[in-house]
Amino acid sequence: MKKLLILLSAAVLALSFAACNQVPKLVSVSIQLKYESLALSEAGVPVSVVSSAGVRYESPTDANGVATFQLPLGSYTASVTYKTASSGVVLVFTGSNSNVVAAADGTATYTIDLNRVQSQQIIIKELYFGGCTNPETEKGYTNDAYVILYNNSELEADASDIVFCFGAPYNGNGNNKYYVDGKLSYETADWTPSYGAIWWFQSPVKIPAYSQVVVAIFGGIDHTQTVSTSVNLANSAYYWMSNSDVPAYTNAKYAVSDVIPAANHLTCSPFTQGNAWAMSNASPAFYIGRMNASAAKALSENADAYDTTMGTAKAFYVVKFPKANVVDAVEVWSTANVAKSQVRFSSDINIGYVAVTNNKGYTVYRNVDKEATEALPENAGKLVYNYSGGTTDVEGSTDPSGIDAEASIKQGAHIIYSETNDTSKDFHQRKVASLKK
């Protein structure tokens, strides 16, 4: 009898041990990604499901946008964040479903309806146009203008088809004949004025994530050799708006250093008469668009695309640039003429303005998107605060984020800049051009 009890006890212990180590039942669960009621047919998109106990599982989608999991019985929350770039636009798809259940009665398919947020990869980070004052002659010096393009994303950007344009009129306080009954005549049109010329790259241009390219507008030289308070634009990595292939542009301010390779020279086909590109050193309306070189050249030379609202003489011609091709814009007004100035962009391109005083070395610099920049995990301990580079203490504006972008970049931080299509929110007047630090 004693032997029988020992055998029964051993059997019970064996069954208990097997029960404790039993592999849980797995159920096949599929997650279908959809956008606007259609399947997001993209393979390799990582989908996560998290159990009520916090256990995470991940699986990529197949070509039909379906991610398949083998899950223990229980309740889960599925989520996805997917980023991609298309034609210079960053697309972010996000969504979740908190009602996913792995049930004992078999397989199940659930859906995540995605939301899409898009933003431009390439933005205008800085526009330096107002020049500085020569301390020896006390005269203004404005041959040192430049613009910085910035890749405001974590994905490499292709800037090869970026073109550079100016709105009309030349100055924000100029006689703007496009205003009719207090409104821009092209407010609801499919085009916006481009004055002077459209400039384009002549070689492929790639911008790594959170990086920039500098484009010298007139003199691609070390301007500090002429005016000590100016900037050095003689750099082999920089680009230059060249007059080499533009016979009409004979102005002496066009100059370039041998260190800037010919492949980095931009060109244009002027449609407004003049011996240099028409750029205001007080209050420009500057914008960038996307258009390949052949299309930009054809548009520039197409008389049917010319508009003569500003005047019938060739000195006033503008080209009707397609709004759909506009990527980014900045509206600048002269501090001394704010009351007399009018916006030159329709509201679907840009609203607001930034006031700037020229001949002081000030520059138009982009504000930091504080929330987005602080959210990047790689920025932990690298962001520099208490920004004092604005001109609030003198005249003008500053970055409300309080983050010193250039100092943070030196610390290895990745900066995400504000992108609201409202110049008054996206830019401020900076005391010193960023290339001078």
Residue length of the chain: 437
How does 377-397 read in b/e, with b if 16+ C-beta sit within 10 Å? Answer: eebeeebbeebebbbeeeebb
Cα dist from 380 to 23, 70, 412, 413, whole Å: 41, 36, 10, 8
Strand partners, 92: 83, 117
User: Please, are residues 100 and 52 in contact by the beta-carbon 8 Å criterion?
Assistant: no
Q: Which residue from 433, 337, 338, 437 is spatially nearest to 129, judged by alpha carbons?
A: 433
pLDDT for 152: 97
Q: Do the domain assignments include residue 89? A: yes
Q: Are residues 206 and 246 in the same domain?
A: yes
Cβ of 360: how many Cβ atoms within 10 Å? 21
Q: Do the domain assignments include residue 19? A: no
Q: Do the domain assignments include residue 393? A: no
In whole angstroms, what is the distance from residue 44 CA to residue 51 CA? Answer: 22
Q: Are residues 75 and 89 in the same domain?
A: yes
Q: Are residues 98 and 219 in the same domain?
A: no
**Gap between the terminal Cα atoms of the chain:** 93
pLDDT for 11: 44
Q: Are residues 91 and 236 in the same domain?
A: no
Q: Take residue 423 and report the two structure tokens written for it.
A: 């110049």
H-helix or E-strand containing 50?
strand 46-51
* Residue 372, burial from CB neighbour count under 10 angstroms (0-12, 13-18, 19+): middle
Q: Which residue from 339, 354, 299, 338 is spatially nearest to 322, judged by alpha carbons?
A: 299
Q: Are residues 110 and 144 in the same domain?
A: no
H-helix or E-strand containing 407?
helix 405-410
User: Considering its fold, how many domains does the chain have in total?
Assistant: 2
Q: Take residue 433 and report the two structure tokens written for it.
A: 């051009």
Q: Are residues 49 and 134 in the same domain?
A: no
* Residue 219, burial from CB neighbour count under 10 angstroms (0-12, 13-18, 19+): buried
Q: Take residue 302 and report the two structure tokens written for it.
A: 């197409």
Kindly list the strands in the beta sheet with 306-307, ordered across the sheet, starting from the edge strand earlier in the chain. Answer: 191-195, 318-322, 306-307
User: Please, are residues 240 and 266 in contact by the beta-carbon 8 Å criterion?
Assistant: yes
Q: Do the domain assignments include residue 408? A: no
Question: The CATH number of the domain where 36 resides is what?
Answer: 2.60.40.10
Domain boundary among the residues 119, 149, 184 is at 119
Q: Are residues 158 and 39 in the same domain?
A: no
Beta-carbon contacts of 77 under 8 Å, excluding residues fewer than 6 positions away, are 49, 50, 96, 97, 98, 100
Q: Do the domain assignments include residue 420? A: no
Domain boundary among the residues 119, 143, 164 is at 119
Q: Are residues 130 and 270 in the same domain?
A: yes
Q: Which residue has the tokens 């052949």?
A: 294
Q: Which residue from 405, 422, 424 is spatially nearest to 414, judged by alpha carbons?
A: 405
pLDDT for 92: 78
In whole angstroms, what is the distance from residue 284 CA to residue 181 CA? Answer: 23
pLDDT for 90: 82
Kindly list the strands in the beta sheet with 122-128, ordered across the sheet, starting from the edge strand earlier in the chain. Answer: 265-266, 239-241, 212-216, 146-151, 122-128, 363-366, 427-430
Q: Are residues 114 and 158 in the same domain?
A: no
- 3-state SS assignment for residue 246: coil
Reading the chain (437 residues) residue by residue, the pLDDT tens digits are 444 444 444 444 444 444 445 667 899 999 999 999 999 999 999 999 989 778 889 999 999 999 999 999 999 989 888 878 877 788 878 888 989 999 988 789 999 999 876 788 999 999 999 999 999 999 999 999 999 999 999 999 999 999 999 999 999 999 999 999 989 999 999 999 999 999 999 999 999 999 999 999 999 999 999 999 999 999 999 999 999 999 999 999 999 999 999 999 999 999 999 999 889 999 999 999 999 999 999 999 999 999 999 999 999 999 999 999 999 999 999 999 999 999 999 999 999 999 999 999 999 999 999 999 999 999 999 999 999 999 999 989 999 999 999 999 999 999 999 999 999 999 999 999 999 97
Q: Are residues 295 and 229 in the same domain?
A: yes
Q: Do the domain assignments include residue 244? A: yes
Q: Are residues 221 and 313 in the same domain?
A: yes
Domain boundary among the residues 89, 119, 149 is at 119
Q: Do the domain assignments include residue 397? A: no
In whole angstroms, what is the distance from residue 49 CA to residue 67 CA? Answer: 10
Q: Do the domain assignments include residue 305? A: yes
Looking at residue 413, the DSSP 8-state letter turns out to be P
Q: What is the model's pTM?
A: 0.83
Q: Which residue from 266, 311, 234, 309 is spatially nearest to 165, judged by alpha carbons?
A: 266
Q: Are residues 267 and 136 in the same domain?
A: yes
DSSP string, 334-358: EGGGGGG----S-TTT-B--EEE-S
H-helix or E-strand containing 433?
none
Give the domain extent around 248.
121-361
